[in-house]
Structure 1
Amino acid sequence: MSTKSPTRSRPAAGRRTSANDAKSRRAQAAAAEESRKRRRELLLWGAVLTAVAALIAAMMWSARETSDTTARPAPDFTLTDTSGATVKLADFRGKNVVLYFNEGAGCQSCILQMADIERNAAAFTAADITVLPIVMNSAEQIKADMARNGVRTPFLLDDGTVSAAYGTLGKGMHEGLPGHSFVLIDAQGTQRWYGEYPSMYLSSADLLDQVREHLP
């Protein structure tokens, strides 16, 4: 009586299934790694393009810098500052003054500009220059930004009248606010120089160079 040998097809099939499963997992892992690689490349290119766009924008804004050296009587004004004091331009007759118009609260570059001027206070004193920052904010709004950045110089609070009188209103990024600008007024009360900086920054050294160049 003959007997048939037991079949071994099932274990072989199991091995083939396991091999196929392992191959499938390797393919999935390779696909996932390729997907991650593409995402990294896209993020890198996105960062590069963003940096290039920012550089181009900065160059375009810098190219729009304007300067006016027409001598004219400086419009007088009386404003209240963040310390509650009343400040009159006429009180500075006999001294050289730089008015620093800026967008104020919410503009980090504007506050850092004043912080840089404060760090170089000795150089401005040596050049006989008093810097008066002017913003269109409430005292509470601008004082909060001053405190966060350690700025101590009182800001003059304008309702737009002074900014308009000096031609800086609407020259920045916001139509209803002053642009990032400086006005040099000599000891006789004559405006000697106006500089507009859409790049939102002018180093203290460059500002002092402009002052020295345009004072009589």
Structure 2
Amino acid sequence: MSTKQHHAEQQHNARRELQQTIAGDSARQAQRRSVTRVASVAAAIVAVGLVVFGLWSAQPTNVSGSSQAPAFTLKTTAGTSVSLADYRGKPVILYFNEGAGCGACTQQMAGIEKNPGFAQAGIVVLPIVMNTAAQIKPDLDRFGVKTPYLLDDGTVSKAYGTLGKGMHADLPGHGFVLIDANGVQRWQGNYPSMWLDPATLLNEVKSRL
């Protein structure tokens, strides 16, 4: 073999090795991309599964009772003060919720206001939040809620065992407490779904009075 032919063969072999190297790198990159895509899809499936599980596992809890309801006096968004004792002789629903920033919570109260059955049955609904008036009023205006909200520093929410029932350990969840005309706590229900149809709430309450 001549020197020229030998040199040409070396160049050919070098080009072939380079092509093989490039092809190998491309294959490895494609494999890595494929693995990454599979991992991403798997992670997404797991995330969706956790969300679905969370939604399905966030079931409402209902507890009957017959103990005297803790007394309280709280300031309201209307600038007044409200005591539980003010409503002795009437059934009262305390609506504990996350308050400012929770649109579903305010929509819940708006839905309750639109149902005339509560007033017709003589049932008073008192929404209680751990906010200042300045914090919660924009939400009330946004959803057209007229009922004054009771402003709690956490003392009342703790007394009624509502803290940590939702997404935040230091806030109430989304729940209701029924107190009868004699001041006795008859029922407490927590709803992690952040909604209870007002008609269902009314029926629940009536069945326990």
Q: With the length of structure 2 as denominator, give the TM-score of the two structures.
A: 0.75
Query: Which of the numbers 96, 107, 119 marks the counterpart of 1:101?
Result: 96
- What amino acid is aligned across from residue 204 of structure 1 in structure 2? P
C-alpha distance in 2 between matches for 1:181 and 1:111: 13
In the alignment, does 2:59 pair up with 1:57?
Answer: no
- What amino acid is aligned across from residue 140 of structure 1 in structure 2? A
Give the deviation of 1:82 after TM superposition.
0.2
C-alpha distance in 1 between matches for 2:47 and 2:123: 39
Give the deviation of 1:57 after TM superposition.
3.0
RMSD in angstroms over aligned alpha carbons?
Answer: 2.0
In the alignment, does 2:61 pair up with 1:66?
Answer: yes
C-alpha distance in 2 between matches for 1:143 and 1:170: 23
C-alpha distance in 1 between matches for 2:107 and 2:48: 22
What is the DSSP-based 3-state SS (H/G/I as helix, E as strand, rest coil) of the residue aligned with 2:65?
coil
Once the two structures are superposed, residues 73-112 of structure 1 have per-residue CA deviations (whole angstroms, 9 ceiling, x without a partner) of 0001000000001101001000110000000001111011
Aligned residues: 169
Q: Quick one: percent identity of the two aligned structures?
A: 57
C-alpha distance in 2 between matches for 1:163 and 1:214: 22
In the alignment, does 2:139 pair up with 1:145?
Answer: yes
C-alpha distance in 2 between matches for 1:54 and 1:131: 32
Q: With the length of structure 1 as denominator, give the TM-score of the two structures.
A: 0.73
- What amino acid is aligned across from residue 141 of structure 1 in structure 2? Q
- What are structure 2's unaligned runs of at least 5 residues? 1-39
What is the DSSP-based 3-state SS (H/G/I as helix, E as strand, rest coil) of the residue aligned with 2:166?
coil
C-alpha distance in 1 between matches for 2:79 and 2:70: 22
C-alpha distance in 2 between matches for 1:151 and 1:56: 33
C-alpha distance in 1 between matches for 2:51 and 2:158: 30
C-alpha distance in 2 between matches for 1:146 and 1:86: 18
Give the deviation of 1:169 after TM superposition.
1.1
Which residue of structure 1 aligns with residue 30 of structure 2?
Answer: none
C-alpha distance in 2 between matches for 1:154 and 1:97: 15
